[in-house]
């Protein structure tokens, strides 16, 4: 080995020794510390200073410089394990409480305090051999001082929050109440002192809050908050009579103000709100009795209003009371009574509040409990009906022009049926006395039946209409309108029947007349009959009948016809007359009759001149006869005056023999033919 190599190795060894020296020193110190820790721990252990001993045993076990008395250390730590656990628990509690205070986390602090209480209950028991050591650890961590300081800080924060809520009139966050009640009272003196302090603060806050809410009209929220506050206090085993007292006082003043101002709706609403609150919170409240008696008074007043016909006042009161109790039945009854008294209320309110100009109504007809028809300012017709279930149907019609001046409206008893009403309206007319209109109310619509201008309109038993002098068809006459489908249409002109004697038929050409005569003989389609002094020929659908039968004929005189006078005719007339008078005609022969006729004609000529017969001729001339010229009738009358035609004087005579019985025979004496009026028969019986 060379010198150089030797020096190199030598220095390397020296360097290694130098490097290991600190390690050896550290190792030595560690060994010394462990030996000292074990020695100290044993001394403390035997001196019953177990908390400190547990610390030194733990330090000795952590020291790994040398394995020395490891079994002793382990056995001692196992024996002192309860103290180790206690120390760990309390250390964690102390750390959590400190962290809660720095973070202003009240829940975290309460959790730490709860754990502290649990630790106390676990370690501070007579059976616990290490309870004295718990007290030592508690003092070590300064739990009483620290927790008192922490809770005092939170107490100040919560009381400030109360003031902030009142200042801002914001009550959304009231967690302070619950938090303050959770703070351990024993930390600030006695429990009662702490409770008295809280009650003073709570009462000031609660009363101020309730008063402000009531003043702002927040009555229901105020009572709701009062209920919530009572529940919260109760959950914390605290009574809060000041809340009930304040709410009762505020509502009493509020109800008095409502009543004095006749604001019954507000009174009822506030009374109900307080009843909901006080029925559970303060059932013996005088305000409850006051509210109930006032409501009963209002119900009586509303009932009297309805009975007196003051329906709107009654409904208004019932509506107001409805904020306190259910009055829907009373409101419906009042509205129904009002509608029955004023049926037009069923109809829509006219535009502009002008009301209905013409109204007609009724009850218990047409399947309706109540019905009403009315027209508005624009002549729009409305019809409303209420059924037994009080369901209302409204129909309308605008067929009447807005400019029509309506005079009357009515329900027509003749045109209406048991289920379908017909509304008739009379309006002014420039051309006639009135315009008559009828509207049929159907299941789902109103239909116009007719609209006619005329001087008068009447409904006939058969349902037709008689209109005097209508505009249009039938003008100047009495027109007949009949229903065809859904409307009335012109059906013709009415012909009046004149009741006359059979002898005056010729005076009413073309007129519908009714008379009674005696049938002398009848044949196919015609019959010859006689009146008192004349013969009439009936033409038409004539049923066969026996001779000497009295019949009533309705028909029209249209023309004359020539009738042959022979012995057979004279005999038939004589037989009829003989049967009517009960005996012979006086034994007169044909010559005697002719003489009587001549004398009768002379007397008539002398007593009245020719004027009477000429007058008859003029009357016939004034009324033309179908199928015969005016001149013919006049010529026949002139012949009667002049005595021409051997007794052709229309078969009439005014004989004075034995009455009218012989007058007809006398008029026929000496005549071969006579002109007799022909009546076209419409009815015969």
Question: How confident is residue 571, by pLDDT bands cut at 50, 70 and 90?
Answer: confident
What whole-number distance in Å separates Cα of residue 344 and Cα of residue 384? Answer: 8
Per-domain residue ranges of the chain: 3-79, 83-141, 189-337, 350-493, 500-684
The alpha carbon of 602 is separated from its chain's Cα centroid by a whole number of angstroms, namely 93
- 457-508: per-residue pLDDT in tens? 999 999 999 999 999 999 989 999 999 989 999 999 887 889 999 999 999 9
- 335-350: per-residue pLDDT in tens? 999 999 999 999 998 8
Question: How confident is residue 660, by pLDDT bands cut at 50, 70 and 90?
Answer: very low
What number is the average pLDDT over the span 590-606? Answer: 42
Angle at 424 between CA 420 and CA 425, to 5 degrees: 150
The alpha carbon of 20 is separated from its chain's Cα centroid by a whole number of angstroms, namely 108
Give the Cβ contact number of residue 68 at 10 Å: 14
The pLDDT of residue 350 is 84
Residue 602 reports pLDDT greater than 50: no
What whole-number distance in Å separates Cα of residue 316 and Cα of residue 299? Answer: 11
What does the block give as tokens for 412? 């027509």
What does the block give as tokens for 190? 């006695």
What number is the average pLDDT over the span 401-428? Answer: 95
Q: Is the pTM of this model over 0.85?
A: no
Mark 479-490 as b/e (b = at least 16 C-beta within 10 Å): bbbebeeeebeb
What whole-number distance in Å separates Cα of residue 503 and Cα of residue 339? Answer: 66
The mean pLDDT of the chain is 82
Q: What are phi and psi of 376, to 5 degrees?
A: -95, -170
Angle at 202 between CA 199 and CA 204, to 5 degrees: 105
Sheet holding 465-468, edge to edge: 456-459, 465-468, 478-484, 487-493
What number is the average pLDDT over the span 154-183? Answer: 93
Mark 513-536 as b/e (b = at least 16 C-beta within 10 Å): bebebbbbbbeeeebbbbbebbbb
> In sequence order, which ranges of 104-170 are alpha helices (DSSP H)?
106-123, 131-141, 143-168
Single out the residue of 203, 216, 159 nearest to residue 183, CA to CA.
Answer: 159
What does the block give as tokens for 123? 């370690």
What does the block give as tokens for 313? 């006042």
3-state class (DSSP) for residue 101: helix
Beta strands in 387-459 (DSSP E): 392-397, 406-411, 422-427, 434-441, 446-454, 456-459
**Strands 358-365, 446-454: parallel, antiparallel or unpaired by DSSP?**
unpaired
Q: What are phi and psi of 657, to 5 degrees?
A: -60, -105
What whole-number distance in Å separates Cα of residue 466 and Cα of residue 329? Answer: 51
Residue written as tokens 């109809």?
347
What whole-number distance in Å separates Cα of residue 324 and Cα of residue 318? Answer: 10
What whole-number distance in Å separates Cα of residue 685 and Cα of residue 683? Answer: 7
What whole-number distance in Å separates Cα of residue 436 and Cα of residue 429? Answer: 9
What number is the average pLDDT over the span 639-649? Answer: 36
- Greater confidence (371 vs 185) lies with 371
- 267-308: per-residue pLDDT in tens? 999 999 999 999 888 898 999 999 999 999 999 999 999 999
3-state class (DSSP) for residue 629: coil
Angle at 312 between CA 311 and CA 318, to 5 degrees: 85
The alpha carbon of 467 is separated from its chain's Cα centroid by a whole number of angstroms, namely 43
Q: What are phi and psi of 586, to 5 degrees?
A: 105, 10
Contact 330, 353 (CB under 8 A): no
**Strands 535-539, 673-684: parallel, antiparallel or unpaired by DSSP?**
parallel
Single out the residue of 105, 88, 93 nearest to residue 179, CA to CA.
Answer: 105
What does the block give as tokens for 339? 């509608």
The pLDDT of residue 578 is 78
Q: What are phi and psi of 237, to 5 degrees?
A: 60, 40
What whole-number distance in Å separates Cα of residue 537 and Cα of residue 514? Answer: 14
Angle at 624 between CA 620 and CA 629, to 5 degrees: 95
């Amino acid at each position: 080995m060379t010198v150089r190599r030797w020096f190199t190795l030598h220095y390397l060894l020296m360097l290694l020794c130098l490097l290991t020296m600190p390690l050896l020193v550290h190792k030595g110190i560690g060994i010394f510390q462990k030996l000292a820790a074990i020695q100290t721990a044993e001394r403390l252990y035997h001196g019953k200073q177990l908390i400190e001993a547990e610390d030194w045993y733990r330090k000795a076990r952590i020291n790994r410089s040398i394995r020395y008395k490891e079994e002793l250390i382990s056995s001692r730590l196992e024996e002192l394990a309860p103290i180790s656990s206690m120390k760990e628990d309390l250390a964690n509690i102390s750390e959590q409480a400190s962290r809660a205070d720095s973070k202003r986390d009240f829940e975290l602090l309460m959790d730490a305090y709860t754990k502290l209480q649990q630790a106390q209950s676990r370690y501070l028991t007579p059976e616990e051999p290490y309870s004295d050591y718990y007290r030592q650890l508690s003092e070590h961590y300064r739990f009483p001082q620290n927790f008192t300081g922490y809770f005092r800080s939170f107490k100040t924060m919560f009381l400030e929050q109360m003031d902030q809520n009142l200042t801002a009139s914001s009550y959304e966050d009231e967690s302070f109440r619950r938090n303050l009640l959770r703070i351990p009272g024993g930390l600030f003196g006695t429990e009662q002192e702490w409770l008295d302090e809280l009650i003073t603060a709570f009462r000031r806050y609660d009363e101020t809050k309730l008063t402000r809410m009531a003043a702002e009209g927040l009555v229901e929220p105020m009572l709701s908050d009062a209920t919530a506050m009572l529940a919260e206090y109760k959950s914390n085993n605290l009574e809060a009579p000041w809340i009930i007292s304040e709410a009762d006082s505020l509502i009493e003043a509020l109800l008095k103000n409502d009543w004095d101002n006749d604001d019954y709706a507000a009174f009822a609403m506030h009374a109900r709100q307080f009843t909901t609150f006080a029925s559970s919170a303060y059932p013996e409240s005088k305000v409850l009795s006051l509210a109930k008696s006032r409501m009963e008074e209002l119900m009586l007043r509303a009932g009297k209003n309805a009975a007196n016909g003051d329906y709107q006042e009654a409904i208004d009161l019932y509506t107001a009371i409805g904020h306190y109790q259910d009055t829907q039945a009373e409101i419906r009854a009042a509205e129904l009574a009002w509608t029955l008294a004023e049926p037009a209320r069923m109809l829509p309110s006219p535009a502009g509040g002008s009301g209905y100009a013409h109204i007609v109504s009724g009850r218990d007809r047409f399947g309706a409990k109540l019905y009403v028809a009315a027209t508005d300012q624009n002549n729009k017709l409305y019809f409303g009906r209420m059924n037994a279930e009080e369901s209302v149907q409204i129909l309308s019609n605008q067929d009447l022009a807005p400019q029509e001046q309506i005079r009357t409206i009515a329900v027509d008893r003749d045109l209406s049926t048991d289920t379908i009403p017909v509304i008739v309206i009379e309006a002014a007319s420039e051309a006639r006395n009135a315009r008559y209109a009828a509207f049929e109310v159907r299941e789902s619509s109103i239909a116009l039946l007719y609209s006619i201008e005329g001087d008068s309109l009447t409904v006939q038993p058969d349902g037709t209409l008689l209109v005097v002098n209508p505009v249009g068809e039938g003008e100047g006459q009495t027109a007949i309108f009949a229903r065809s489908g859904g409307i009335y249409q012109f059906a013709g002109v009415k012909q009046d029947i004149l009741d006359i004697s059979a002898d005056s038929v010729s005076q009413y050409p073309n007129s519908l007349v009714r008379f009674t005569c005696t049938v002398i003989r009848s044949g196919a389609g015609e019959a010859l009959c006689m009146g008192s002094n004349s013969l009439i020929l009936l033409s038409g659908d004539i049923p066969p009948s026996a001779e000497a039968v009295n019949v009533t004929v309705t028909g029209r005189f249209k023309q004359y016809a020539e009738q042959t006078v022979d012995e057979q005719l004279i005999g038939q007339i004589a037989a009829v007359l003989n049967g009517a008078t009960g005996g012979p005609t006086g034994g007169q022969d044909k010559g005697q009759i002719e003489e009587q006729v001549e004398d009768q004609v002379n007397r008539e000529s002398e007593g009245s001149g020719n004027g009477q017969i000429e007058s008859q001729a003029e009357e016939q001339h004034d009324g033309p006869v179908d199928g015969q010229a005016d001149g013919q009738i006049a010529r026949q009358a002139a012949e009667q005056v002049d005595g021409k035609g051997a007794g052709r004087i229309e078969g009439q005579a005014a004989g004075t023999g034995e009455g009218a019985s012989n007058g007809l025979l006398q008029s026929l004496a000496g005549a071969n033919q006579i002109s007799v009026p022909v009546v076209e028969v419409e009815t015969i019986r």
